[in-house]
A and B are shown apart, each in its own frame.
Chain A
Amino acid sequence: MKDTNNFYVTRDQAKHICDKNQYGEASFLEIIKLNIRFLFCKVTRRYVRRNVKLTKIIKKSNVQTIPLSKKEQLKAEILKKMN
């Protein structure tokens, strides 16, 4: 049965909103819905805390990557040297 309550989200929907929110892509309404679920759902609370912690430590680590273009160039050079 479809839920008619506009502010109700399932646990999976709440997790999805939480994921989007880590990248600043959740809408204001979605954040409100997530917060409502957060108040009464233990699993959601645990998920949100864990997810926020992950975001924080990734930011804190200042982890870096090689640009994709450089990686492609590197792959091509390795291939060339192998042949």
Chain B
Amino acid sequence: MKKQFLIIGVMFLSSIVGVRQIAMALPLAELPETTAPAPTGYALGDAISDFKLKNIDGRMMSLADFPSAKGFIIVFTSNHCPFSKSYEDRVIALDRKYASQGFPVITINPNDPDAYEEDSFANMQVRAKEKGYPFPYLTDDTQVVSKAFGAMRTPQVYVLKKEGGKIIVSYIGAIDDNAQDPSGVTKRYVEDAVNNLLVGKPVVTTSTKAVGCAIKWKS
């Protein structure tokens, strides 16, 4: 923090006394953040590989633990991200609505906790307890699963359906069209996708984009 002030200080100085070269010559920032990997993860229609990740209760969990599920609502999310926080109640509502119909919500925290202490395993447990998460909240501490999916940010949803023994990606994107205000939502992308899958219809809007917090990859 002090370093940043110093940098700003030097900038001020340089602008005042006109010695702009000082600012030019200084190492002005840390090395760039690790750039997000190219989105080479699962595409729509791909069959995904099952995974095994640690849940907040300490147990390892995989999709095979849900033999009667018709599909899954996988939400990459995190504690620290304001967009994730803003969507938290809506993710809980999704699980309450669809788990009983065969589409349980499974949340995965992909962030490197070294980048955001708030995203540590202990803090995940605290948050889940506070909000009474009805769904698993898994830590992807090696980030292998998040990379396999091609997740880029939190929150980001993958709706999966089981079909002929495979688990197929059927929707990738945002939860709905208003991150800030649930009452301003006009398009419920995830609900629409799951509703269609439940009645055997194809998903209409299969992918959307949304602003979120870039996943912090380990360097």
Decide if A and B are genuine partners. no
